[in-house]
Amino acid sequence: MIQLARLEGFYWVARTGGYARAARSFPYPITQPAVHQQVRKLEAELGRPVFTRIGKDRMMLTDAGRTLFEFCAPFFEGLTAVVQAIEQGQVGGQLRIDAAALEISQILPRWIRRLRREAPELQVVVKEIEEPDYGRLRSGQTDVIVDYQPSPPSDVRLTRVGTYYGFLVVPRELLPRPQRRLELKHMASAPFASFPPGSSPHALQMGALREAGCRPSSIVNASSVAGILGFVQSGLCYSLVPWPDARGPELGGVVSVRLPRGRSEFAVSAATRRAAEDRVDRALACARG
């Protein structure tokens, strides 16, 4: 097995053309005899010479030496840049993000644009989810989960990356008789569109309906905000949805009314492992920006 130190001595002699120049070019102090010894031991391991002497301190690669140099030169020439990138936390790789549909369309685009400017070496891979799966985070299958996460486990770190506002969305054909201000209680028994039963958003919707005294005559389920809004815009039902813009969804034929302040704002968070890697921390810094 060839030792890396012997290859390093060989590389610098091949690059500079001589032992004395190689010793002066090394990234750390070394003597000319030490460089010569590295090359001699390398030739002994290979069983053939890698240099031919053409002057007092001028060495030329043999065919075997040229083959070896072409192989190892890219490693040594790129090593300094790689070390500097690691020291500065600028290593590349993938950033794997799990996010729900609304976060993918409304939160991630701004974040990814910042990442492209500030960490262009990162490749972003996004997976759409319906509910956070912290097992994927713990096992390293994903780096970040972006969603509304009211009750994360203790081994997860949350970073706020956005805010959702709660809205009552009603198709015009389902509007009750004219009101000074449309409120949830006015919808009474009208058909309703909900998130999947068992999900956190569904629990919030049902709690709000109970508090307002609403008893929908029927409920249709959809797995995303886009699906719910599609039902509402078609005139089938009304709903309660989160939205990242305080003005609410702007859809033809739909009236959007923001729910009372203080109870209608929800944090959108990025969940990571507590011992996250540098690339994840850099990405979170872009999200907060």
Residue 171: band (very low, low, confident or very high) from pLDDT cuts 50, 70, 90: very high
Please state the rounded mean pLDDT for residues 192-199. Answer: 93
Residue 1: band (very low, low, confident or very high) from pLDDT cuts 50, 70, 90: low
Strand partners, 93: 122
Q: The pTM is what?
A: 0.64
The reply to whether domains 4-87 and 93-162+267-288 share a CATH topology is: no
What pLDDT was estimated at residue 151? 87
Helix (H, G, I), strand (E, B) or coil at 182: coil
Query: The domain 4-87 is classified under which CATH number: 1.20.1090.10, 1.10.10.10, 3.30.70.20, 3.40.50.1000?
Result: 1.10.10.10
Closest by CA position to 123, among listed 100, 146, 145, 91: 91
What pLDDT was estimated at residue 186? 93
Domain 93-162+267-288 CATH superfamily: Periplasmic binding protein-like II (3.40.190.10)
CATH class, range 163-265? alpha beta
For residues 32, 33, 36, 42, the Cα torsion angle rounded to the nearest 10 degrees is: -130
Q: Domain residue spans in the chain?
A: 4-87, 93-162+267-288, 163-265
Closest by CA position to 166, among listed 131, 209, 220: 209
Question: What spatial distance separates the first Cα and last Cα of the chain, rounded to whole Å?
Answer: 50
Residue 91: band (very low, low, confident or very high) from pLDDT cuts 50, 70, 90: low
